[in-house]
Amino acid sequence: MRLLQIFNQYRSQNGGEERAVFDLMALMEKKGVEAKLLMRTSRGLETTLRGKIHAFSSGIFSFSARRDVAGVIADFRPDIVHVNNLYPLFSPSVLEACHRAGIPVVMTVHNYGLTCPTMYHLHRGAPCESCLGGREYWCAVKNCRNSYAESVAYALRAFVARKLRLFMDLVALFIVPTEFTKSLLVRAGFSPDRFVVIRYGVVTNQEPVDAATGTFVGYAGRMSPEKGVDILLRAASQLPDVEFRLAGAGPTLESLVKIAPPNVLFVGLLNDAELTQFYRGARFLVVPSRWYEMCPLVISEAAGHGLPVIVSDLGGLGEIVENGVTGLTFSPGSEADLATKVRSLWETPALCTEMGRNAYRKALQSLHEEVYFRRLMEVYDAAKRLRRGETFVV
């Protein structure tokens, strides 16, 4: 089988979607599948008016991207095209190139770009669904990009994609990480029988740690407003005897360092080896997000090391972390509830061990690379059958 994967790389580095794309390529190579990654990058894209106009126009419908993808398909002759983020340098126009060539398309929904113009379902620090179901104009009305010109542009891009129905009509199957994500897309008008729920985050055979031996509470991720790191810092200030270590970088890092209590240590952006050691030194991790997270890789990675996770009970996070079994949930945005949950888990190390083992066991069942690969092959085969007009079965 030949697989063509298409991905528009984001400006920010080390994001979960980018890692998922590269991990998939590595897995395909390991399994002997002939795979090609067609990638364009938004890094270094001009932030001038000219650059923004180019990104806007190419994001709506890029004739050049459609032509380029058609050329790659003609040369590589893939059996399946697996698309990820297509904005702004590919656009949904590339789906037309796949359709014209008779190649079935599978799309992994890594973000909320199909249901929210800004991809976050977040407005002024709170979840927002105003644009859902054909009301993209709210992005402009609410000025969600903090620039009326950009907000109008994002709203128009989402409107055109919906009206042309390129995603709805030309993608055979969508891979989503949670039932919550599926529910939003169904409410937006997508057919419910076009979705397969598969969490990403490949786990290998590494031996788990005993979570009870961990010496700190960990956070690993981007330092940006939607991640809720400020909530974690306020919770940490209520637990002066507990050490917190935060790994990652991002636009709010400097301001977060200024408000952090003395028991919080920022360890910066870690490479893969350093991140492994970070996980294996923690007692548990916290994901304090204030937005509808898709499927944070940190949760899968923590489970792969045998660690429980505390998450905000928001969006699909409660599906990924089973409250009281593989971790705990807390009331979104509440530093008091988070502090209570951190204290209760920190002071019961035996429970950390039990939850960590449960998380590891579940990860092996659903996230091990062998399971993940088999599920992907089933989805690809089903997409090919759908393209031939046969019944969808996965």
Q: Domains plus CATH for the chain?
A: 2-108+165-202+369-387 (3.40.50.2000), 211-366 (3.40.50.2000)
Question: How does 91-127 read in b/e, with b if 16+ C-beta sit within 10 Å?
Answer: bbbbbbbbbeeebbbbbbbbbbbbbbbbbbbbbeeee
Strand 309-312 with 327-330, pairing? parallel
Q: How far is CA 107 from CA 293, 340, 378, in A?
A: 18, 40, 14
Looking at the predicted structure, is the pLDDT value of residue 394 above 80?
A: no
Which band of pLDDT confidence, cut at 50, 70 and 90, is reported for residue 206? confident
Q: Which H helix or E strand runs over 159?
A: helix 148-164
Per-residue pLDDT of 236-259, as tens digits, reads: 999 999 999 999 999 999 999 999
- What's the whole-model pTM score? 0.91
Task: For the chain, give the longest Cα–Cα distance.
Answer: 62
Per-residue pLDDT of 322-376, as tens digits, reads: 999 999 999 999 999 999 999 999 999 999 999 999 999 999 888 888 999 999 9
Looking at the predicted structure, is the pLDDT value of residue 46 above 60?
A: no
- Interval 371-385 mean pLDDT: 95
Looking at the predicted structure, is the pLDDT value of residue 64 above 90?
A: yes
- Interval 202-211 mean pLDDT: 83
- Do 328 and 188 contact (CB within 8 A), yes or no? no
